[in-house]
Structure 1
Amino acid sequence: MQRFERLARIRSMDPYEDASEIYRLSSAYEFPWDFARALELALYRTYAVPSIGRLLAETAEFTDRPQKRYDDTALLLDAIVEHGFGSEQGRTAIRSINRMHRSYDITNDDMRYVLCTFAVVPKRWIDSYGWRRMSRHEIVASAVHYRTLGRHMGIKDIPGTYEEFEACLDAYEEAHFAWDEGGRRVSDATLDLMASWYPRPFAPLLRAGTLALLDDPLLRAFGYDQPGPATRAVVRRAARLRGRAVRLLPPRRAPQHARQNRQVKGYPNGYRLADLGTRPVPGLRACPVRHIDTSAAE
């Protein structure tokens, strides 16, 4: 297989009818490492919205059990990508996702914003640091994939195109990014989790490197000092050089899914999709967003 052969295959497909398959080829074959990092960043951005960061701090899921929460999120989202919306595994994953969200008081606007991060942040990351930019087919397919996921989650007023997802995300962040003590606690716990994946002596370096990849509005919302220009330049150049190196490698022949990522550490003996996710926390109100029954979803 030649380096751009799979891209040619993607371009031969219909980005609307074949959206989920295009998204699977892009995320599991073309950019598995980049999608994993970008989706981590997408979820991380949501903590800077006080209503989201505060709720996550109250549930203690990201502060007391960050590895499990990371694993469950990655495994549930990727089960849909790997097996499809209409598969038994996909329907089980969606039921688990909906069970979690209906347990808490989450507004439709916040739910839609989180969905926007999943659609937008990977494209922005890959265009900056990937071995090639995302094609128009991949961009459209990603928007269709997350629009479908949002519909299964009962989210209302979902953007119709990638550009609308992007505009929604930017407007929501401009209006809502702000300091919150709970959001900062969740952010610190997430940075500590990421550092724990590597040898302890590298932890301070990894934290500094991660902060250097964040934009100024995100840093201000969490109250972090801005990294120096030299640190930012070195870290971002290193990320771009990695992408250039990947471009020289042979294309991936086997898919790389979340369950295969070494960052997913919480289930060494396996897991059941139906058991993943959180359970209701006493004292927190139920989610007002209506979630549709996906047991018969196609």
Structure 2
Amino acid sequence: MTRAGRYDRLREIELLDPETDWLEIYRLMSLYEFPWDINQALSFALFRTYAVPTIGKLLAETGEFTERVQKRYDDTGLILEAVLEHGFTGTGKDAVRRMNQMHRSYPISNDDMRYTLCTFVVSPIRWMDAYGWRPFSETEKVASANYYRELGRHMGIKDIPATWREFCEVHDAYERERFGYDPGGRAVADSTLALLCTFPPNDKAPAALIDAFSRSLMDAHLREAFRYEAPPRWFRALSRAALRLRGRVVRAMPVRTRPKFVRDLPSIRSYPDGFDVRQLGTFPQGCPVPHGRPVTDQDTYSDRVVSPQVTPSGA
């Protein structure tokens, strides 16, 4: 395929309207144009949330991200992919319902939920600017913001930013105000980095090298929140240069013609015999609204948007 063909999908995307075709655009971005990059960026997006003490501490208390980190990693990716693949009906609706059931089982503030949503918009944009084979176009940035605005609406999140630039502003302000050290957040981060060392092809390299590479990609503010030591300056420069080199190699490759799904990655290992999205995630015992926390608009809104009627997986 000629070099011009590498940009055929971008031309296809630019013919779509990000205000109405945001789901189709984000599917093309995630499954065809940037599958590896977006997956990496979203993994780092979730990692950033552990540096907010109210988030990191809660995740540590559940034990899910320290004792069953592989399953939690898999469940998160598979649930988010089900929404991307199926939209907000059928199996996608089941996936949103699963997220809402889990979130309503814990005392999570709207501010923390909104910040997490912001990371899903902001981290991929900044990853592609730094390491991608090309940056996102304005159409792609608008579409990604609109996609996550709709996801946030179905999750009952309030005061969602209106544009991708506002997502960036809310994201950065929240990190300036809330990032800080918490032993629970550090434990979750350590567990996640240890899991990363087991993924192919990382498992072929010394764990210490993969750990240092991961810390090299963190900004100083994030490392400081976890009290991680910064790798040597030369190592940080080499690590980032390696990712930029990968981007240049990908730029010379033919355009992808088949979708690349998260469920097919070798790092997803919990369900070798398949899965039902309705059974993913956690099923905490007891009342879904913790005692001492009143039922909020988020609880009732989520139940209105996501009908309790069960839809067969794959519908």
Q: TM-score range by the shorter chain?
A: over 0.9
| Correspondence for 2:261 | 257
The alpha carbon displacement at 1:7 in A equals: 0.3
- Is 1:27 equivalent to 2:30 in the alignment? yes
Q: How many residues align?
A: 296
Q: Which deviations, in whole Å up to 9, do the C-alpha atoms of 1:261-288 show, x marking residues without a partner?
A: 1111111111000000112266992775
Letter in 2 for 1:273: V
Q: Structure 2 CA distance, aligned partners of 1:144 and 1:232? A: 34
| Correspondence for 2:134 | 132
Q: Give the conservation status (yes or no) of the 8 Å contact 1:73–1:277.
A: yes
Q: 1:122 aligns with which of 117, 121, 124?
A: 124
Q: 2:103 aligns with which of 101, 104, 113?
A: 101
Q: Structure 2 CA distance, aligned partners of 1:138 and 1:107? A: 29
- Is 1:76 equivalent to 2:72 in the alignment? no
Q: Structure 2 CA distance, aligned partners of 1:200 and 1:241? A: 21
Q: 1:279 aligns with which of 277, 283, 286?
A: 283
Q: Structure 2 CA distance, aligned partners of 1:185 and 1:259? A: 26
| Correspondence for 1:217 | 221
Q: 2:50 aligns with which of 47, 50, 63?
A: 47
Q: Which deviations, in whole Å up to 9, do the C-alpha atoms of 1:184-227 show, x marking residues without a partner?
A: 00000000000011326521111100000000010000001112
After the TM superposition, which residues 79-90 of structure 1 pair with which residues of structure 2 at under 5 Å, given as runs? 79-86=82-89, 88-90=90-92
Equivalent position SS for 1:196: coil
Q: Structure 2 CA distance, aligned partners of 1:163 and 1:112? A: 15
| Correspondence for 2:233 | 229
| Correspondence for 2:208 | 204
Q: Give the conservation status (yes or no) of the 8 Å contact 1:29–1:255.
A: yes
- Is 1:190 equivalent to 2:192 in the alignment? yes
Q: Structure 1 CA distance, aligned partners of 2:60 and 2:286? A: 14
What TM-score, normalized by structure 1, do the two folds share? Answer: 0.96
- Runs (4+) off by over 4 Å: 281-284
The alpha carbon displacement at 1:85 in A equals: 1.5
- Is 1:13 equivalent to 2:6 in the alignment? no
Q: Give the conservation status (yes or no) of the 8 Å contact 1:20–1:145.
A: yes
Letter in 1 for 2:31: A
Q: Structure 2 CA distance, aligned partners of 1:181 and 1:187? A: 10
Q: Structure 1 CA distance, aligned partners of 2:142 and 2:52? A: 27
| Correspondence for 1:148 | 150
Structure 1 residues 200 and 282: alpha-carbon distance in aligned structure 2, compared to 1, 3 A threshold: farther
Q: Give the conservation status (yes or no) of the 8 Å contact 1:153–1:292.
A: no
Equivalent position SS for 2:254: coil
Q: Give the conservation status (yes or no) of the 8 Å contact 1:82–1:257.
A: no
Letter in 2 for 1:159: P
| Correspondence for 2:312 | none
The unaligned stretches of length 5 or more in structure 1 are none
- Is 1:244 equivalent to 2:244 in the alignment? no
| Correspondence for 2:313 | none
What fraction of aligned residue pairs are identical, expressed as a percent? 52
Equivalent position SS for 2:6: coil
Equivalent position SS for 2:20: coil
Equivalent position SS for 2:250: helix
Q: Structure 2 CA distance, aligned partners of 1:56 and 1:281? A: 16
Letter in 1 for 2:263: R
Structure 1 residues 186 and 282: alpha-carbon distance in aligned structure 2, compared to 1, 3 A threshold: farther
Letter in 2 for 1:56: L
